Amino acid sequence: EADIYQTPRYLVIGTGKKITLECSQTMGHDKMYWYQQDPGMELHLIHYSYGVNSTEKGDLSSESTVSRIRTEHFPLTLESARPSHTSQYLCASSEPLQNAEAFFGQGTRLTVV
């Protein structure tokens, strides 16, 4: 079982609030990813990281920001939540090898009301 954890699992929050979605992994992986997934739709990469102090925006534009101060920790922050941010957010990590798989956390289902 992969050791990657996301908290909270579910979050209902009001418009305009600042939120941080937590993601931690204990596998020592350098590469970490944030995906956004709406029901029945594909995963869209919104952020990724090569390692500590390295973050990049993904292929889907997102108003969220990320940080990577420690290898094991890759939090995602929304400064001002809006209903359009309602979605499932999945954190993943992988080894740097070309053939390495991605391990996913349990996901955070965010609802902004």
Q: Scanning the structure block, which residue is given the tokens 């944030």?
A: 34
For residues 75 and 105, which CB has a smaller minimum distance to other proteins in the complex?
Answer: 105
> Of 95, 90, 33, 87, whose CA–CA distance to 59 is shortest?
33
Q: How far is CA 27 from CA 5, 45, 98, in A?
A: 11, 21, 17
27-46 residues in contact with other proteins (CB under 8 A) are: 31, 33, 35, 40-43, 45
For residues 6 and 64, which CB has a smaller minimum distance to other proteins in the complex?
Answer: 6
Q: How many of the other CB atoms lie within 10 Å of CB of 103?
A: 18
Q: Is 11 in the site for other proteins (CB under 8 A)?
A: no
DSSP state of 83: G
Please state whether beta strands 10-13 and 108-112 pair in parallel, antiparallel, or not at all (unpaired).
Answer: parallel
For residues 64 and 94, which CB has a smaller minimum distance to other proteins in the complex?
Answer: 94
The residue from 15, 26, 80, 106 that contacts other proteins (CB under 8 A) is 106
Q: Which residues bind other proteins (CB under 8 A)?
A: 31, 33, 35, 40-43, 45, 48, 50, 56, 59, 90, 92, 94, 96, 98-99, 101-107, 109
